[in-house]
Amino acid sequence: MMVAAAAGLVCNGTDPCYNHALNLCCPGDKTQHDGHGRPFCDIQLTGTCQNQTTCYDITSICVCGGDRPCRSASGACLPWSNGCTKLNAAMQFCPSGPMPTPVATTSTVAPPSSDNFFATNSFDSVANAATTITIIACLTLVCIVAMVLFCVCRRKPVAEPPILRSVAETSDREEALLPPVACPRHGSSYAPTHTTSTVASLQSQGSSQDSALSSSREFDLCELEMYRIQSFEISIVKALAQGAHGEVCMGMYQGIAVAVKKMLPKSLSHDEVQKFVLEIKLMAKLNSPYIVRFIGASWLRPSDIMLVTEFMDMGDLRNFLQLTSDETVSWQQKLQLALNIVHGLVYLHSLDHKIIHRDLKSRNVLLNTKLNAKLTDFGISREMDDMTMTAGIGTYRWMAPEVLQDGHYAESADMFSFGVILSELSTHRLPYSDYVNGSGRPYTDTAIMARVMMGDFQPTFADDCPEWFKAFGNHCMAFQPDDRPRAAQAAYILQTELRKIEASAKL
């Protein structure tokens, strides 16, 4: 049974899951309860859990217990299995060891008889007195040792501040682990190099800036220790891409292809390193099939830190659209790509601490050979503590008018960027590339930004594009942020239309 939910109404215990797209309260999946009787709310099907006391969903933390202590990738609790201990301990979803197996016993303990009662109590008194004396003696000894050490330390001359070593001054032990080989330079060809190099080579390419960025404590890397990968375990195959502050290489780790992202030497300022560390910490928290999977991080010093993620072998959506056309990509495939992207936004916007991507564009949507799309590049993403956010910008062609005007960020800004991507799926062109001025020349970047801020320009759709898709895309790019659909509503619309296409294809 589904119950209509008025705005602001919390769903009851019978139908605890709130479906944003349908504005309905839905029953949870009791077969996937959390071990304590609370049903599971599937964000993509039944909606989010409004009250954690009556249900749970993928955003709930440390909920699994009882006879279902494990956690699946979908967020649902599962019965115990030998394979889930290691995985879920790292995710903080499960106990670190196997569940205790109760052992049945019929033996009983007889009460002490009157004959030995006084003897037993007398013995216990002596034992307790001896234990107390032992504890006091140990504490006294510890205090004496501590005082001696304190006096010795005070008598030592004050040491000079430690000199932070550059890479050239790395110890022999570190050098043994870090052979000096280089990450291949970027060029016109992305073909693999003849010899692979360990990722340590990237970390050993230091500069004078490294000495000022060598303290792990300053950047608080403790919470990343459980994900730390030794540099010699990763080998670099080829360069993939380079941005303003970082570069991405394809690498190999434990026999599988991975993507390795590091900062450029010119960007090794304290603030830029701090931003990159925050990006890695944020990636470590995310777990969704629509977000590029976080594998780990590798570093010797904070300035060397690298982000290791799954490798998406089809590259980004922008390149894919440039190399294809309407004849080679069906509308069913386009809708599936759009649905993958918006599912990623549903996940980010539904977390307890909502996350706004803030740089959603076709370059930050990666594809694999199965044509599954996943979101990446959370360098300027932030967890929302307030209703809106400011500062930090993405690429202007995908920015909402309010962001260009005053840097005002909310979930609706991500939805505008999503609408721009929908126009790209329709035309395969770069947004606004078809706009020309009176002289027949393309508008400058400044002119485009000014027109978008005024609401005069909006990315266009192909003439043969389905009318519903064009209307849906324009809805996502509404000038007023409040007029745009939420991610869950957009996902429902796309899912409905995709099912229509799939059903007609079977006829």
232-253 in b/e burial notation, b at 16+ Cβ within 10 A? ebbbbbbbbbeeeebbbbbbbb
Same-domain pairing of 71 and 197: no
Q: Which DSSP helix (H) or strand (E) runs through 467?
A: helix 467-476
| Residues contacting residue 454 through CB under 8 Å, at least 6 positions apart | 401
- The Cα–Cα gap between 487 and 418 comes to 9
Please check whether residue 272 lies inside any domain of the structure.
Answer: yes
What does the pLDDT read at residue 411? 94
- For 471-498, the pLDDT digits (tens) are 999 999 999 999 999 999 999 999 999 9
pLDDT at 96: 42
Question: What distance in Å separates the CA atoms of residue 446 and residue 86, rounded to the nearest whole number?
Answer: 52
Domain co-membership, 259 together with 176: yes
Q: Is residue 88 part of a domain?
A: no
Reported as a single tens digit per residue, the pLDDT across 100-131 is 444 343 444 344 444 443 334 444 444 455 55
How confident is the model at residue 150, as a pLDDT?
Answer: 62
Q: How many CA atoms lie within 13 A of 142 on its CB side?
A: 6
Over residues 415-438, the mean pLDDT reads: 95
Check whether residue 26 and residue 3 sit in a common domain: yes
Distance of alpha carbon 467 from alpha carbon 447, whole angstroms = 29
Q: What is residue 316's DSSP assignment?
A: B
Pairing assessment for the beta strands 256-263 and 246-253 based on DSSP bridges: antiparallel
In this structure, the answer to whether residues 306 and 332 fall within a common structural domain is no
Dist CA 285 CA 5 (whole Å): 31
In a domain, 163, yes or no: no
Q: What is the mean pLDDT of residues 327-346?
A: 96
Residue 215's pLDDT band, with cuts at 50, 70 and 90, is low
Quick one: 288 and 347 in the same domain? no
> How far apart, in Å, do the first and last CA atoms of the chain sit?
31
Is the pLDDT confidence value at 449 over 80?
A: yes
Which among 322, 209, 348, 194 is positioned nearest to 265, based on CA atoms? 209
- For the chain, the average pLDDT equals 76
What phi, psi does 168 have (nearest 5°)?
Answer: -65, -20
3-state secondary structure of 240: strand
Q: Are residues 306 and 328 in the same domain?
A: no
As a whole number of angstroms, the distance between CA 306 and CA 251 comes to 12
Helix axes 467-476, 411-427, angle to 10 degrees: 150
CA proximity to 273, closest of 198, 205, 212, 359: 212
Report how far residue 501's alpha carbon sits from residue 90's, in angstroms, rounded to the nearest whole number: 41
Q: Which residues contact 51 (CB under 8 A, 6 or more apart)?
A: 10, 11, 16
Q: Does the structure show a pLDDT above 90 at 465?
A: yes
Predicted structure pTM score: 0.59
| Per-state percent for the chain, helix, strand, coil, to nearest 5 | 40, 15, 45
Residue 31 lies in a domain: yes
Percent of the chain at pLDDT above 90? 40
User: Any idea what the Cα angle at residue 465 is, between residues 409 and 484, rounded to 5°?
Assistant: 25
Structural domain includes residue 448: yes
Any domain includes 480: yes
Instruction: Tell the burial category of 190 from Cβ atoms under 10 Å away from its Cβ (0-12, 13-18, 19+).
Output: middle
Domain end among 310, 337, 365: 310
pLDDT of residue 464: 92
| Residues 41 and 17 both lie in one domain | yes
How far is residue 291's CA from residue 285's CA, in Å, rounded to a whole number? 11
User: 298-327: string of b/e by CB count within 10 Å (b at 16+)?
Assistant: bbbbbbbbbbbbbbbeebbbbebbeeeeee
Tokens linked to 119: 């003897």
The answer to whether residue 359 is catalytic is yes
Give the domain-ending residue among 59, 80, 101. Answer: 80
Q: Which residues of 134-147 are buried (b: 16+ CB within 10 A; e: fewer)?
A: eeeeeeeeeeeeee
Same domain, 295 and 350: no
Q: Which two tokens stand for residue 370?
A: 């199965």
Q: pLDDT by residue (tens digit) across 352-379?
A: 989 999 899 999 999 999 999 999 988 6
Count of structural domains within the chain: 3
Q: Active-site residue among 57, 359, 377, 414?
A: 359
* Co-location of 17 and 39 in the same domain: yes
Range of 60's domain? 1-80
Q: Cα 179 vs. chain centroid, distance in angstroms?
A: 31
In this structure, the answer to whether residues 323 and 361 fall within a common structural domain is: yes
Q: Are residues 251 and 391 in the same domain?
A: no
Among 399, 355, 391, which residue's Cα sits nearest to residue 375?
A: 355
63 and 37 within one domain:
yes
Note the pLDDT tens digit of each residue in 31-89: 999 888 999 888 767 778 888 889 988 777 778 888 888 877 677 888 887 666 544 44
CATH number of residue 255's parent domain: 3.30.200.20
Query: What are the structure tokens assigned to 5, written together?
Result: 């939910």
- Which region among 59-68, 258-267, 406-415 has the lowest average model confidence (pLDDT)? 59-68
Q: What tokens appear for 172 in the block?
A: 């022999």
